[in-house]
Amino acid sequence: MAPNQTIPPLSDKSLFKQECYVNGEWVKAKSGKIFEVKDPGSGKFIGTCPECSKEDTDEAVKVAAAAFPSFRKTTGRERARMLRKWYQLMVDNADDIAKLITWENGKPFNDAKGEAAYAASFFEWFSEEAPRTDGDTIPATVPGNRVFTIKEPIGVCGLITPWNFPAAMITRKIGPAFAAGCTVVAKSPGETPFTSLALAELAHRAGIPKGVVNFITALENTAEVGSALTSNPTVRKVSFTGSTGVGKLLMKQSADTLKKLSFELGGNAPFIVFDDADLDVAVNGAVACKFRSSGQTCVCANRIYVQKGIYDKFATAFAEKVKGFKVGGGYDEGVTHGPLIHDRAISKVDAHVRDAEEKGGKIIVGGQKMPDLGSNFFQPTVITGMTMDMQLASEETFGPVAGLFPFETEAEVVKMANKAEVGLAGYFYSKDLQRAYRVAEALEVGMVGINTGLVSDPAAPFGGVKYSGFGREGSKYGISEYQIMKMITMGGMGEPLQGS
């Protein structure tokens, strides 16, 4: 252990793992290479993980493929019981999972506890979906034929997850794949690998069969691992959450083997406040939607549009809320917002703020780096007088910056909202029922929040349109992303009863 390494007070220190989990065993990279992980708040060393390569990835895929024939034959009820055990272990160890999230991701401990519970809920949800993968009976047009469908697991799945939700993004993908009867190779995010490795340890304790779930890690070799998963013909499905640019690359790499894909990619969510909205409710919703995890979520409000009739009142009330934030280390008492994940994130946030300022935007709260706290801290920021030529209008900031854009009409704001290439989530506040339908149907996004800034729920289908990707996670639809539908036709079934 490095001298400057300070492990949070885990109740169960054996949840802190620094090796990959393959075929039910803890293993190092074949090359022996490792990478370091640091606390984004303090910059201090946390630990090391194996720098896996194509060779390691291929081995994990081979193991998953060997486990698939027997695992696919388990019943949905058997898989449900296993998922339920895994879920219960997550609940029992929720505080330790949250401590790991805060340690490597930086989000405040209360937020991390919320994520730990949210992550576990996907195992609970899909434990209930596993026994209910129903097929259909279809009336045939040919006399004597009987047509029906069955659902089958697609096979070995490659799962690639991001750092902003180190637990929830893993469970949201593994849950439905496991419930469907698939085996998986999960590539943990290099910035935040320890949370996922703790989940692997809990899988082991839950009695998940060897080879069914496998976790590999990489930082510098992330692209190599991604290429290995997308090019390996044994992998029949790839699910990825991350940037649109990487999603496009993975899609190209998957073309030769015609994989089934589901991608949850970039977001640039519009948040619209109409004149008839309840101002207090809209302000609270915008604060929660914009600044959750310091703005580092794909469904965060990125462009806040406020109708001119209430623009000034909204801006004043919104700014007052933001002034009440406390920025600091994730474990510090009273802290509401933590650091950004790394220096590249800080640079992008600062560039967006400076660009808006140069083009006439007025910073009414924040707007500066916070070097006294550390290199990855930035003040929660509110900017008024935003215009469509500013970077923030077209690029996802992924940080604690709220730009307020004025607008006059429904048609105008919907046009501005839909100008983005991406279409993940959109939000608006209004008391007008007819407007609610009009605007919800007009927004080019996969998810709409009306009078709420939070849409994530294991029961709700999560996903986008346009450059935000395709496929849905969570809900009753999530499991179908890991299944194939097989049609079976039986002929000669129309004979009369014997003896008639």
Annotated catalytic residues are 264, 298
Pairing of strands 447-450, 401-407: unpaired
Pairing of strands 301-307, 362-365: unpaired
HEC per residue, 26-57: EECCCCCCEEEEECCCCCCEEEEEECCCHHHH
Which run of H or of E encompasses 241? strand 235-241
DSSP state of 309: G
Which run of H or of E encompasses 239? strand 235-241
Do residues 269 and 427 lie in contact, with contact meaning Cβ atoms separated by under 8 Å? Answer: yes
Do residues 190 and 38 lie in contact, with contact meaning Cβ atoms separated by under 8 Å? Answer: no
Do residues 364 and 319 lie in contact, with contact meaning Cβ atoms separated by under 8 Å? Answer: yes
Do residues 437 and 462 lie in contact, with contact meaning Cβ atoms separated by under 8 Å? Answer: no
Which of 281, 263, 23, 48 lies closest to 158 in space, CA to CA? 263
